[in-house]
Amino acid sequence: MTYTERVVILSELAERLRAKGSWCGETHLQKSVYLLQHVEKVPLGFEFVLYRHGPFSFDLREELSAMRGDGFLRVEPQSYPYGPRLMADPSSAAVRSAHAGALRRYEKNIEAVADIVGAKGVADLEKLATALFVSESAPGASAEIRAVRINEMKPHVSYDDALAAVSAVDDILLRCSSQE
Amino acid sequence: MAKGSHEIRDAIHVFIRYSSHERRVIDSLPFQRLRSIHQLALSFLVYPGATHKRFEHSLGVMELAGRAFDVVTAQDNVTDVIRKSFPEIGDLQARPYWRTVLRMAALCHDIGHLPFSHAAEKELLPTGWTHERLTKEFILSSEMQEIWKSMTPPLRADDVARLAVGPDKAKELEFTQWHELLSELIVGDAFGVDRIDYLLRDSLHTGVGYGRFDHHRLIDTLRILPQAPLAGPDPSTETPALGVERGGIHSAEALLWARYFMYSQVYFHHVRCIYNIHLRDFLADWLPGGQLPVALEALAEITDDEALAAIRVAAKSPSAKGHEPARRIVKREHFKLLYERQPADVAKNPDAGEAISTAARAEFGADNVRRERYKPKGAPLDFPVGGADGRSASSISISETLQKIPVVNIDYVFIEPTLREKAEVWLAKNRDDILEASAKE
């Protein structure tokens, strides 16, 4: 996938996340891209590791910086003491319109992820994305085993919350596979 | 009685003190090899003073890592919430263990560096290999394991490796929040002591004053803080991260501006970039199989010294491997800048540099065109700042200066010098068509 195609997809994702009520900070965008790659199988090519708030891609952080540098993404400061939001710069619309084919190809996937993420906060996204990360690394493992694993890796996520997140991930994957 | 503590003079930190165990690492062959790896590759061809090596930088990073650790874990500088998140801070056995691990990791963080540092890494290593992976291999090697095991308490080699390269480059190792935080102290994008040392050191040796900032004040105000809140209740944002107390915000701003200036003025100076490309071309011809070895014993045999000697020999002999790029380096007949990324071009075509480079290769031949694209590393400008009221705030909500730091975005296309005039005329005539044609699907 070219940089231009990634600009199209990531800027569209940022727009749709905000339209669905997401805060759309860096963490929200990171988890959304993780879902886009790993649930919707959009081949963006970012590598994710388990980090502070769950799956995180340092490559994606670079890409978002590049987009900021190229004027396709904007950091929107908030009043004291709040963290910033990200928004697609209006100039990205021209790229999306010139590459309408790329947008059409992945539009449904982007919308599906924006629906999942919606107005979820960082805490919920961390649980959901970590549950997906653990599920992928332990295929076939029971929900209980995966919940224990999440709780080991992220002690601030209780076993019950982890189990709920695993169940939500299983539902999403089931829904996704039934649509294929 | 043998001395348990030793010191060495340093251009930046005046004295660097180290233990006998650290001396064993410093005296080991893999570490001594860093005396022959230039910190800034061939930058000395542009900035004559830039002849400093990874050796002294690694010592500097160890010194700063110790200082930073002492500040962020000082009992007066941590709240009960942080102490609860990281029990290691208050544990009388764990704290000195992790201080030792951190200093060792800082000392070894560059031990796997290739000849000429970053200049040739991506192109000349087999797929899946990086200098960080080699660093891990060195740290886990039997020679180094002997040192870790001889210590009291013995150091776990995995711990040293984790902190030396960070979660991004050690995907197979699990990181706790404590590991993440300590590795951030070394290799973190915002306040990693690796960055603090190389900006100061490179600034001194290149003679470029932009890289200076008040690192004493910055380190003194580093804190482990809950992350700043987002609007609305969102408890997980309290996950701890490295930040500064309010009094350190100006030093943090100065560091991030220094980073911007050094990247745009020194690290991506266009002549430095083209020398790196000629160097890569030379190494690809000269090295057996066109690649650097990844076996530790073989890698230890190749440093800048061997390569520079070979460049001088190859430059004189037209039949020698790598003669052409070697000649360009020695005789300073490097390719010339034909195109540099322009925001207006990127607005039309995000892959503008690639489009110009592809068209130029088709017009003038692939051997006569070279491209250098630097993908921004994106220093996070949003970090927690501790306020007098005990709450964390986002740095972006406090500092207008941080909001204005540009992203360093580099894309150069170079042309063989005798074709320069012709290529410039060609580009002026065809630039818009090239950008438009390539932008269309």
pLDDT band, very low/low/confident/very high, at B227 (cuts 50, 70, 90): confident
Would you place residue A155 in the very low, low, confident or very high pLDDT band (cuts 50, 70, 90)?
Answer: confident
Is residue A1 predicted with pLDDT exceeding 80?
yes
Spatial CB neighbours of A110, under 8 Å, sequence gap ≥ 6: A9, A12, A13, A16, A36, A40, A42
**Measured distance CA(B142)–CA(B168) in Å, rounded:** 24
Residues 6+ apart with CB under 8 A from B264: B408, B410
Q: Report phi then psi at B110, rounded to 5.
A: -115, 15
pLDDT tens for B269-327 read 999 999 999 999 999 999 999 999 899 899 888 899 999 999 999 999 999 999 999 99
The per-residue pLDDT for B238 is: 67
User: Across chain A, which distance is largest between two alpha carbons, in Å?
Assistant: 48
Contact A81 B346 (CB under 8 A): no
Q: Do B347 and A91 touch (CB under 8 A)?
A: yes
Closest residue by Cα to residue A68 from B353, B404, B348: B404
pLDDT reported for residue B233:
54
- Domain span at A160: 121-180
Residue A99: closest C-alpha in chain B: B441
To the nearest whole angstrom, how far is the Cα of A178 from the nearest Cα of chain B? 32
Residue B235 scores a pLDDT above 60: no
Residue numbers in A near B441 (CB within 8 A) = 98-102
Q: Give me the mean pLDDT over the A58-80 stretch.
A: 92
| Rounded-to-10 torsion of CA B217, B218, B219, B222 | 120
* Strand-pair partners of B412: B340, B372
Inter-chain contacts counted by CB atoms under 8 A, chains A and B: 136
What mean pLDDT comes out for the span B158-186?
Answer: 93
First to last CA, chain A: 22
Q: What percent of chain B has pLDDT over 70?
A: 96
Q: Does B9 touch chain A (CB under 8 A)?
A: no
* Chain B residues closer than 8 Å to A70 by CB: 343, 346-347, 350, 409
Q: What is the pLDDT averaged over residues A160-177?
A: 93
Among residues A103, A119, A135, which one ends one of the domains? A119
- Counting Cα atoms < 13 Å in the Cβ hemisphere of B32 gives 6
Instruction: Identify the residue with better confidence: A52 or A11.
Output: A11
Nearest CA in chain B to A124: B236
What does the pLDDT look like over B68-86, one tens digit per residue? Answer: 999 999 999 999 989 999 9
Nearest-by-Cβ selection for B393 from A7, A80, A153: A80
Residues A13 and A86 grouped into a single domain: yes
- Whole-angstrom CA distances from B366 to B306, B358, B362, B369, B427 are 29, 9, 7, 6, 16
pLDDT digits (tens, 9 = 90+) for B381-419: 889 999 888 889 999 999 999 988 999 889 999 999 999
Contact B210, B203 (CB under 8 A): yes
What is the distance of C-alpha A30 from the center of its chain? 5
- One domain for residues A96 and A8: yes
Shortest Cα–Cα distance, A169 to chain B (Å)? 20
**pLDDT band at B427, cuts 50/70/90?**
very high
pLDDT higher than threshold 80 for residue B234: no
Q: Are residues A2 and A79 in the same domain?
A: yes
Q: Are residues A6 and A51 in the same domain?
A: yes
pLDDT at A85: 92
A100 shares its domain with A127: no
| Maximal CA-CA distance, chain B | 77
Neighbours of A176 (CB within 10 A): 15
* Cβ contact, residue pair B441, A102, below 8 Å: yes
Q: Tell me the C-alpha distance between B381 and B400, whole Å.
A: 11
**A169 and A87 together in one domain:** no
The pLDDT of residue B229 is 80
φ, ψ for residue B414, nearest 5 deg: -110, 155
pLDDT at position A4: 92
CATH of residue A57? 1.10.10
pLDDT at B127: 87
- C-alpha span between B66 and B88 (Å, rounded): 16
| The pLDDT value given to residue B147 | 96
Dihedral Cα B312, B315, B319, B324, nearest 10 deg: 130
Question: Helices marked H in chain A — which ranges?
Answer: 3-19, 26-38, 58-69, 92-98, 100-117, 122-137, 143-153, 159-179
- On whether both A104 and A125 belong to a single domain, the answer is no
- What confidence tens digit (pLDDT) does each residue in B51-62 have? 999 999 999 999
Same domain for A133 and A114: no
Domain count, chain A: 2
Q: pLDDT category, B1, cuts 50, 70, 90?
A: low
Residues A162 and A73 in one domain: no
Same-domain check for residues A54 and A84 = yes
pLDDT at B228: 84
pLDDT at B2 over 80: no
Report ipTM (2 d.p.).
Answer: 0.89
The Cα-based distances of B322 to B44, B286, B301 in angstroms read: 21, 6, 20
Q: Is B230 on the interface with A (CB under 8 A)?
A: yes
Closest C-alpha among B182, B168, B166, B188 to residue B256: B188
Distance from CA of A98 to the nearest CA of B (A): 7
Q: Is B185 on the interface with A (CB under 8 A)?
A: no
Q: Number of C-alpha atoms within 13 angstroms, CB side, residue B181?
A: 25
Cβ-nearest to B168 among A49, A100, A122: A49
Is the dihedral angle over the CA atoms B43, B381, B226, A163 positive or is it negative? negative
Nearest by CB to B382, which of A2, A83, A91? A83
Q: Give B261's contacts (C-beta < 8 A, 6+ positions apart).
A: B208, B210, B211
CA distances (Å), origin B385, targets A34, B178, B200, B248? 28, 19, 23, 8
For the structural domain made of B5-259, what CATH number should be given?
Answer: 1.10.3210.10
List CB contacts (< 8 A) between A58 and chain B: 168
Chain A residue at shortest CA distance from B379:
A65
Same domain, A53 and A112: yes
In angstroms, what separates the C-alpha of B8 from chain A's closest C-alpha?
36
- Can you tell me the mean pLDDT for B95-114? 96
A125 and A111 fall within a common domain: no
Residue A33 pLDDT level (bands cut at 50, 70, 90): very high
Mean pLDDT, all residues of chain A: 93
pLDDT band at B168 (very low <50, low <70, confident <90, very high): confident
In chain B, residues with a C-beta closer than 8 Å to the C-beta of A92 are: none
